[in-house]
Structure 1
Amino acid sequence: MTAPALVSVRGLRVAYGDGPLVLDGVDLDLHTGEMVALLGSSGSGKSTLMRSLTGFAPISGGSVHVVGHDMTNLPRRRLRTVRASVGQVFQQFNLVGRLSVLTNVLTGALHDAGPINLAGGFSSAHRRRAMELLDRVGIAHKATDQARSLSGGQQQRVAIARALMQRPRIVLADEPVASLDPRMSHAVLGLLREIAHDDGIPVLVSLHVLALALEHSDRVVGLRHGQVLVSAPTAQLDAATLNVLYDHENDNEEATRVDDHA
């Protein structure tokens, strides 16, 4: 029997103010242990879909359920609970550059560490876990270095360790390799997929490069103009099939990016 989805989106519509629909009738499920690639050109609604899962995008219609919570008109206290259960990884890393790598990871525990933590102290248990996570992502030897001294790939690994410090139920990664070279892109996506499979934490990762999605994801959801055009296991797809997601004038650019990462 299939386990219930940790994220269930049905018929989602999103519009900002009186503007046009950014998402129009989107369905999405995220299940334990899978890595799902979210594809689409700029303006297709990928970031808005991710924001809707944490209550940062208005739900104009349809339903969004995240780890058992109905996100429609969710009270602020319960919204904080949902956000604490969602680990997030961003394109620009969002680290505090002057702080140590270890301290950046420890900030992932702020939501449950208690008043002493907010005053600047972290428990020995939190420190041990942070070091274990840094070891897992392969940069424990950088724990005392300032975050800004690290390479882009290393900083993204710190960001992943910080997200895991939350003990998340799901992970959202919004263009996590857009600023990385091909070698580091594969390494970071391989790490995210390992987390999904080994820890049972579903990972939703938005990407532009088709080849990366085809190599590292279990399933693909593709958006165009706010609607889902593709939703299938990755094994059933290829680059030619996925090109339907992109405007004709962008096809050549996308094909080049596929070749660059092959």
Structure 2
Amino acid sequence: MTLVAGAHEVEPRVTTAELRQALPLVTVRGLEVAYDAQRVLAGVDLELFPGEMVALLGASGSGKSTLMRSLTGFAPITGGAVRVAGHDVTNLRRGQLRTLRSEVGQVFQQFNLIPRLSVLTNVLTGALHDGGPINLVGGFSSAHRRRALELLDRVGIAHKALEPARSLSGGQQQRVAIARALMQRPKVILADEPVASLDPKLADSVLELLREIASEDGIPVLVSLHVLPLALAHSDRIVGLRRGEILVSGRTSQLDASALAPLYEDEEPGDDEH
């Protein structure tokens, strides 16, 4: 069963109606994922349009991370169809998967920075995935360095460029990770629990930054979250999973905590990593 938000309209941003005039950059139809005999996702449909930020909600074990991984071919797709940035994920060979993954920026809970390297160098590593030429003898080009500094300025920490990543706070490190993802020139951004280790104020600022990037750059952002108020405050749409199926899907402006509560009714200890 799918609970879909009502039809009443609210004051528009540059949002859903206009965004949906464009073709979706991610289309998922009837997605099924199973590990051995264990079904993790069943009949999942999803679309991500340019410029929108979509919050993916669900209890531990609901399949959120598996859905994220299926979009880049890291989960075993056993049924349905998945298209991301023009790629048919279900039929890609290894080299084609590398191309797809270079076009998808990813932001993780644990930042995945190289602690001893400078903030600038960590951002520059994103250029290894953008498909452009890298000077393997002299290092990164001046154009790469200029772009990395511009991105650090955009995320508000250009003044930390030469400091080692390990010296930064958690919120600052996540901003570095976002700048690194942007260095790839991604067509889609996937953020898997990006604020789970941050305090509420920092979480708000990081999610606000991701939403600005989605809107200003026309990049769809899919962000998995556990905290309902954050999803309600920082997304254009919400998709909720329970037991591997979509239970809730609708515009954020037409949903509230009571509509989302059923997603967590049978939450159990553990997570949905496989």
Q: In the aligned structure 2, how far is the partner of 1:19 from the partner of 1:90?
A: 28
1:75 maps to which residue?
Answer: 93
1:116 maps to which residue?
Answer: 135
Asked if residue 53 in structure 1 is aligned to residue 81 in structure 2, the reply is no
Q: In the aligned structure 1, how far is the partner of 2:44 from the partner of 2:238?
A: 14
2:263 maps to which residue?
Answer: 245
Q: In the aligned structure 1, how far is the partner of 2:164 from the partner of 2:88?
A: 40
Asked if residue 176 in structure 1 is aligned to residue 191 in structure 2, the reply is no
Asked if residue 195 in structure 1 is aligned to residue 213 in structure 2, the reply is yes
Native 8 Å contact 1:171 1:202 kept in 2: yes
1:154 maps to which residue?
Answer: 172
Asked if residue 136 in structure 1 is aligned to residue 154 in structure 2, the reply is yes
Q: Match for 2:246 among 206, 225, 228?
A: 228
2:272 maps to which residue?
Answer: none
Q: In the aligned structure 2, how far is the partner of 1:247 from the partner of 1:240?
A: 11
Give CA-to-partner distance per residue, 1:172-191, whole Å, 9 cap, x none.
00000000000000000000
Give CA-to-partner distance per residue, 1:150-173, whole Å, 9 cap, x none.
000000000000000000001000
Q: In the aligned structure 2, how far is the partner of 1:135 from the partner of 1:235?
A: 31
Asked if residue 31 in structure 1 is aligned to residue 49 in structure 2, the reply is yes
Give runs of aligned pairs for residues 249-260 of structure 1, distance below 5 A.
none
Per-residue deviation, 1:120: 6.0
1:9 maps to which residue?
Answer: 28
Give CA-to-partner distance per residue, 1:129-160, whole Å, 9 cap, x none.
00000000000000000000000000000000
Give CA-to-partner distance per residue, 1:92-145, whole Å, 9 cap, x none.
00000000000000000013343524x560000000000000000000000000
Asked if residue 213 in structure 1 is aligned to residue 231 in structure 2, the reply is yes
Give CA-to-partner distance per residue, 1:42-80, whole Å, 9 cap, x none.
110000000000000011000000011111131112111
Which residue type is aligned with residue 32 of structure 1?
A: P
Q: Indicate how the Cα distance of structure 1 residues 249 and 71 shifts in structure 2: closer, same or farther if over 3 A, else same.
A: closer
**TM value normalised by structure 1:** 0.92
Q: Which structure has more RCO (C-alpha within 8 Å, separation ≥ 6)?
A: 2
Q: In the aligned structure 2, how far is the partner of 1:75 from the partner of 1:218?
A: 34
Unaligned runs of 5+ in 2: 1-19, 269-274
Q: Indicate how the Cα distance of structure 1 residues 115 and 211 shifts in structure 2: closer, same or farther if over 3 A, else same.
A: closer
Q: Kindly, what percent of the aligned residue pairs are identical?
A: 74
The alignment partner of 1:60 has SS state of strand
Q: Indicate how the Cα distance of structure 1 residues 113 and 68 shifts in structure 2: closer, same or farther if over 3 A, else same.
A: closer
Native 8 Å contact 1:133 1:161 kept in 2: yes
Please identify which structure carries the higher helix content: 1
Unaligned runs of 5+ in 1: 251-262
The alignment partner of 2:32 has SS state of strand
Give CA-to-partner distance per residue, 1:174-230, whole Å, 9 cap, x none.
000000000000000000000000110000000000000000000000000000001
Native 8 Å contact 2:50 2:220 kept in 1: yes
Native 8 Å contact 2:128 2:134 kept in 1: no
Native 8 Å contact 2:122 2:176 kept in 1: yes
The alignment partner of 1:116 has SS state of coil
The alignment partner of 1:13 has SS state of strand
Runs of 4+ off more than 6 Å:
none
Native 8 Å contact 1:113 1:122 kept in 2: no
1:255 maps to which residue?
Answer: none
Aligned residue pairs: how many? 248
Q: In the aligned structure 1, how far is the partner of 2:219 from the partner of 2:121?
A: 24
